[in-house]
Amino acid sequence: MQAVIALGFFDGVHLGHGELLRRTAALAAEKGRRSLALTFDRSPGKDGRLLTSVEDRTHLIRSLYGVDEVAVLPFTEEFMHMDWETFLETLVREYGAAHLVCGWDYRFGYLGEGNPEKLRAWCETRGLGCDVVDKLVLDGITVSSTLLKTLVEAGDLEAAARFYGHPHTMSGTVRSGRRLGHTLGFPTANLIPAPELVLPKDGVYAVRAEVDGQRFIGVCNVGMRPTVNGHHRTVETWLDGFAGDLYGKTICIDYYRFLRPERTFPDLDSLKQEIFRNRQQARDYFSRMGSSRPQGRRIDAVSNESIGVV
């Protein structure tokens, strides 16, 4: 079946991407074609840092915007040197492209020589459809992955969610840690984030997390764990109400609010009492949002009205 293809990288899958993905899905439904989003296995930009892994990016594209398929292309040296016309011909030959959708600032091909104007002209000569989606401006600010990296690194997760249209999210396999949580009476899920992932600034956050299809309120520490002399940056999450072994399981974390900076406590009992206090803060936060025991979909789409209600 021929496809309507969304062109981009879609790191973070923010509201600007959403406009493009929504247009792609709608055109595909209207024309009786399949919808497909194109992304890459690593960043094509000079920065190299990512808001989302390939797995999280794929999940967000499909779950939030109803796109049928996500094609993940390897960003190889050969691909980097492919001219823009050869790239478009590949989309027709290998993916059945009949209609292409891109953003206002989309660049493609060797040295970024392809642009929306060239794409429109190329499609017209070959009888293909082409849509170019304008930039999205919210509160006078252009929504972009660069903006979101700045907000996430500053720990401003509520502002980030406003521009994302969903919470900042990450997932991974729970690794074996020092079992400190068991010692304190509450097992935690330890993740070692990929070095290219952008993390919130060091501190403690109110989160929602999913394990084995169940959703929990959580308290997540991002940082070095100075009280126990940590030696590398980790993401450690305590799930409120979870009972069982977390080791080896996949956990999906949605970040909602910064609660406090990471700090050193004089002893483990003081740390334990602070975690209980943070748990209550998280419970109060989600209770005021009207969902103290969230269940269901992993990713919650966030309306502008629901951001910053606390």
Residue ranges of domains in the chain, CATH in brackets: 3-136 (3.40.50.620), 144-306 (2.40.30.30)
Q: Is 17 or 310 the better-scoring residue by pLDDT? A: 17
CA gap 121, 98 in Å, rounded: 14
CA distance 239 to 110: 46
- Least Cα distance to 16 among 26, 31, 6 occurs for 6
Q: How far apart, in whole angstroms, are the C-alpha atoms of residue 153 and residue 151? A: 6
Report the predicted TM-score, pTM, of the whole model to 2 decimal places: 0.87
What six digits make up the tokens of 3? Answer: 């496809």
Whether 200 shows a pLDDT value over 90: the answer reads yes
Lowest mean pLDDT: which of 27-41, 141-155, 181-195, 275-289?
181-195
Beta bridge pairs of residue 13: none
Residue with structure tokens 């009492």? 273
Phi and psi dihedrals of 181, rounded to 5? Answer: -60, -40
Cβ atoms of 203 and 261 within 8 Å: the answer is yes
DSSP 22: H
CA distance 232 to 185: 23
Tokens of 148: 């979101």
| pLDDT given at position 297 | 41
d(CA 79, CA 108): 10
Cα–Cα dist 302/288, whole Å: 15
Compute CA distances 164 → 12, 19, 51, 110, whole Å: 7, 12, 11, 29
Per residue in 7-63, pLDDT (tens digit) is 999 999 999 999 999 999 999 999 999 999 999 998 887 788 999 999 999 999 999
CA distance 28 to 17: 17
- What are the distances in angstroms from CA 241 to CA 63, 107, 148, 188, 244? 26, 47, 31, 12, 10
Q: Is the pLDDT of residue 233 over 60?
A: yes
